[in-house]
A and B are shown apart, each in its own frame.
Chain A
Amino acid sequence: MIQIRDTPLPRAGKAVGIQTIGMTMRFGSFTALDNVSIDVPAGTFHALLGENGAGKSTLVKCIMGFYHQTSGSLSVDGHEVSVQSPKDAATYGLGMVYQNFTLVPSLTGAENLVINRAHVPAVINWAKERKELAAFMERMPFKIPLDRPVRELAAGEKQKLEIVKQLYLGRSFLILDEPTSVLTPAEADEMLGLVRGMTERGELTVLMISHKFHEVTRFTDAVTVLRRGNMAGSGLVKDLTTKDMAAMMIGDVKLAELDTRLPVAGDATPILVVRDVKAPDRTGLKMIDIGNLTVRAGEIVGIAGISGNGQKELTEVLAGQRPPEAGSITVKGSLYGATRRETRINNVRFIPEEPLNNACAPKMTVTENLAFRTFDVKREGGDALWLDMKSMRKRAASLISDFKVKTASHSSPIASLSGGNVQRAVLARELTGDVDLLIVSNPCFGLDFSAVAEIRARIMKARNSGTAVLLLSEDLDELLEMSDRIMVMSDGRLVYETPALSADISVIGAHMAGHH
């Protein structure tokens, strides 16, 4: 067999099991992880559930040697081991696939694999490496092009390459951190199915951090639930219902409920009309081409699609950041160029993805960020010359309490807030006052249950009060829950439209994957 291993210890293709006993991690007086014992036998697929801040990442960082636990121990295959660094973890065959890819975008797949090895020859003999890689890939269930730069790969391919990288480096216990968050349902099912196959054959043990229940019930053997640093429960997946798991995760917190959906009036006025808009995408090689997109008052139109299929360009066109080469955008019947004046007259509001970078000035205070829509208008109308700090502060205070934004002070920089609270703050700014058109992109990405429920409830409330909402999301569950109509964007075009009530996930998935 060819030598592709990093370390001699574990045998290739032979899973190892791990066990933590009384794992406790304190940061000063704060206990992030309190006496957590989990058992993941060799060749099993184990899920780790929990809200943001529940201690999931603290636990896996202790296992991987990024943190050194205050007390407790880790065993690999029944022997207690001391893991001081990720390097030590690698010696025992433990590896982790992070949520944000650690692949280097400008290198090819093959280059990424080879450079990650512990011993890279000074001059790389590519003919020999290619042959060995091909032989290695034979044994992998994943098929990935290794000779293209990673940045050209689809998210699903990157995720598979991350897993392949770990296997190539000889790891036989993998931690997957929300591995399907950027994949289509079909991609996710395929990837998890293949991973599941490897665990069943005893080649791999997997601990997967997730908060998608359907993945947990469909693919994993057992589950451990963490809440506020404590073990909230664990068990075999076949003995638990989704409801049990949800109860373990959130405890007795009451989630915000969606308003009942009011029916869309048959004669609701179209607010946003996009006709035959063409614009180049960021590579300049492809075009996005939106034939006909209409959003009427009081409805949510959801746009599904794998990221990188032109959604970002579409939002940029609607936000005036990317000039269209052809076509027209009208809002409430008049041409719309996304100037500040037009935005204000038409009550258009915008929540882009990653709002901290795209809708905030990170180092300015929460108060200032909340005033971005209003600071330059006087209360009685007309342009303001001087900032009215007093009313800005008053307004900020009321928005912060209305939208339950958790911040140390009103004058903290907005960058110091957690992701969910930045999202709430931006939502507070964008949803206050009259809103006729709301454009939202991935509003709940990476947020926990209660924040997600809260934000979705706010958007639904806006819809019911007559706002036209365009919702772009990579999360199909979110679109199915929120939208009245769903359109699928693939390769820069809207290729499919369906009412959300009668939507068929497999048809949507097929269109997302480009089979249309």
Chain B
Amino acid sequence: MEDTGIGLWGVPLAIFAGAIRVSTPFIFVSLGESITERSGRINLGLEGTLVFGAMAAYAIAVMSNSPWLGVLAAMATGAVFGLVHGWICKFPRVNDIAIGIAMMQFGLGLAFFLGKPFIQPVAPHLPSIPLGGWSDLPQIQSALNINVLFILGALLSMVFWWAFKNTRVGLILRVVGDSSDAARAMGLNPDTVRLLATAVGGSLAAVGGAYLTLFYPGSWNEGISSGQGLMAVALVIFARWNPIGCFLAALLFGGAGALGPALQSVGVTQGYYLFYAAPYVLTLAILVATSSPTRSLAGAPGALSITK
């Protein structure tokens, strides 16, 4: 090892940095989905929304030379995707899961079609905040170079957690998600609430996409997403619809995802491919360990259903 190396300490450091880097899109998609699901509807189309948001953010950033305008554009397109999903789902006998899958394919196809001219150009990146100035080690400095969206996501998860308990909007969302009848009895229109919740969920998911093209990996191509939009839906269930849980689950998932590259970087050359599967194995293991055939799932919104 060289003098500047930090040896095996590189592994936890790489996992830490990787957790932050990989988890950010998961945080946004799962926060968005937690809002949608708390209102009693599942939007499986977030993968399509994420990829379209990624494309839109990159395209606008290229044209305007401002990454933040790109993020805003992504949010707008995500909200449109959410509104379309929510609008279709309000018709009777329409199944939100089937619509979600259709919207996912639609989003992917449209993004690839419109995104062709933007594969070559280079867009400006989102800024990150260097928190590692106190250390002389370049590894630590680079690991503590934390992107702005991650910090935003962490704050949002806390705000959402607080808002679910302490604001009118939060309580209304929970009422609608738990019992459509109770909501109607108090004069709320569940369809409208769900429409808005799906729109907000879509716009947050699109921010996750913007992160992919404007920060890490930081370019637009058709393989930009590796299923973050779908995994995040599972993370929401795993986190029991709790925003802070979503944030932690995303971090755990990101950390497990960084295991493979981290081991590779310290010279483990055999079997590290196996570690690339770590997040999925981990998710499966935790889901199996925490579920039970004789017990009902605590915290699930009552109106969430696959038979509608």
- A contacts, CB < 8 Å to B: 87, 98, 100, 102-107, 111, 114-116, 120-124, 126, 279-280, 282-284, 322-323
Q: Are B171 and A284 in contact (CB under 8 A)?
A: no
A104 touches B182 (CB 8 A): yes
> By the criterion CB–CB under 8 Å, are B295 and A124 in contact?
no
CA gap between A416 and B218 in the complex, in Å: 58
B295 near A284 with CB under 8 A, answer yes
Q: Of residues 12 to 30 in B, which have CB atoms within 8 Å of A's CB atoms?
A: none
Does B107 reach chain A (CB closer than 8 Å)?
Answer: no
Q: Does B129 contact A (CB under 8 A)?
A: no
Minimum CB–CB distance for B204 against chain A, Å: 21
* Most chain A C-beta atoms within 10 Å of own C-beta, residue among B166, B169, B185, B294: B294
* List of A residues within 8 angstroms of B117 by Cβ: none
Alpha-carbon distance between A114 and B174 when the two chains are bound, in angstroms: 13
Are A282 and B167 in contact, with the CB atoms below 8 A?
no
User: Is B299 interfacial (CB-CB < 8 Å)?
Assistant: yes
- Between-chain CB contacts (< 8 Å), 13 pairs: A103-B182, A106-B174, A106-B178, A106-B301, A107-B171, A111-B171, A115-B175, A116-B186, A120-B168, A121-B168, A126-B166, A283-B295, A322-B294
Minimum Cβ distance to chain A for residue B185 (Å): 5
Give the nearest-CB partner of A101 in chain B.
B182
Chain A residues lying within 8 Å of B296, measured Cβ to Cβ, are: 282-283
Determine if B172 is an interface residue (Cβ-Cβ < 8 Å).
yes
Q: Does the CB pair A122–B182 fall under 8 Å? A: no
Q: Complex Cα distance A201/B141, Å?
A: 74
Known: A282-B294, A284-B292, A323-B294. Is A102-B181 also a contact (CB below 8 A)?
Answer: yes
Among A102, A123, A284, contact of B166 (Cβ-Cβ < 8 Å): A123
A102 and B182: CB pair below 8 A?
yes
Is B298 among interface residues, defined by CB-CB distance under 8 A? yes
Asked if A123 and B302 sit within 8 Å, CB to CB, the answer is: no
Judged by a CB distance under 8 angstroms, whether B225 is at the interface is: no
A104 lies within 8 A of B178 (CB): yes
Q: How many residues of B contact A (CB 8 A)?
A: 23
Bound state CA distance, A294 and B167, in angstroms?
Answer: 54
Q: Does B187 contact A (CB under 8 A)?
A: yes
A302 to B9, CA, bound (A): 68
Other A-B contacts than A106-B301, A107-B171, A123-B166, 7 sampled, CB-CB below 8 A, are A102-B182, A106-B302, A111-B171, A115-B168, A120-B171, A121-B168, A124-B168
Report A-chain residues with C-beta under 8 Å of the C-beta of B301.
106
**In the assembly, what is the distance between CA of A284 and CA of B291, in Å?**
10
A104 touches B295 (CB 8 A): no
Do B299 and A106 touch (CB < 8 A)? yes
Closest to B168 in A: A120
Min CB distance B197 to A, Å, is 16
- When C-beta atoms are compared, the residue in chain A nearest to B166 turns out to be A124
Contact B166 A115 (CB under 8 A): no
Residues of A close to B299: CB separation below 8 A: 106
Closest residue of B by beta carbon distance from A279? B294
A107 pairs with B167, CB closer than 8 A? no
Asked if B95 CB lies within 8 Å of chain A CBs, one says no
Whether A124 contacts B178 by the Cβ 8 Å rule is: no
Contact B302 A122 (CB under 8 A): no
Q: Provide the residues of chain A in CB contact with B186, threshold 8 Å.
A: 115-116
Q: Which residue of B lies closest to A169 (CB)?
A: B186
**Chain A nearest CB: distance from B209 CB in Å?**
30
- Contact residue among B168, B169, B174, B294 (Cβ-Cβ distance under 8 Å from A104): B174
In the complex, chain A residues whose CB is within 8 Å of the CB of B167: 122-124
Is B221 close to A, CB under 8 A? no
Q: Which residues of A are found within 8 Å of B294, using beta-carbon distances?
A: 279-280, 282, 284, 322-323
Collect the chain A residues with CB atoms within 8 Å of residue B175's CB: 104, 107, 115
Query: In the complex the two chains form, what is the Cα distance from A323 to B168 in whole Å?
Result: 43
> Shortest distance in angstroms between A320's beta carbon and chain B's nearest beta carbon?
13
Are A104's CB and B172's CB within 8 A? no
Which residues does chain A contribute within 8 Å of B139, judged by CB atoms?
none
Task: Give the Cβ gap from B155 to chain A, nearest Cβ, in Å.
Answer: 17
User: How many angstroms from the CA of A123 to the CA of B164 in the assembled complex?
Assistant: 11
Q: Bound state CA distance, A102 and B178, in angstroms?
A: 11
B145 part of interface (Cβ distance < 8 Å): no
User: Which residue of chain A is the closest to B167 with respect to CB atoms?
Assistant: A123
Q: Mark B278-308, 1 if CB is under 8 A from A, else 0.
A: 0000000000000010111011011000000
Q: How far is the CA of A323 from the CA of B295 in the complex (A)?
A: 12
B179 is an interface residue with CB less than 8 A from chain A: yes
A107 contact set on B, CB distance < 8 A: 171, 174-175, 178
**Smallest Cβ distance from B298 to chain A, in angstroms?**
7
B107 smallest CB distance to A (angstroms): 31
Scoring A104, A122, A126, A279 by chain B CB atoms within 10 A of each residue's CB, the highest score goes to A104
Q: What B residues does A126 contact at CB under 8 A?
A: 166
* C-alpha spacing A87/B187, complex, angstroms: 9
Interface code B174-203, partner A: CB below 8 Å = 1, 0 otherwise?
Answer: 110011011001110000000000000000
Q: How far is the CA of A111 from the CA of B173 in the complex (A)?
A: 12
A116 to B296, CA, bound (A): 28
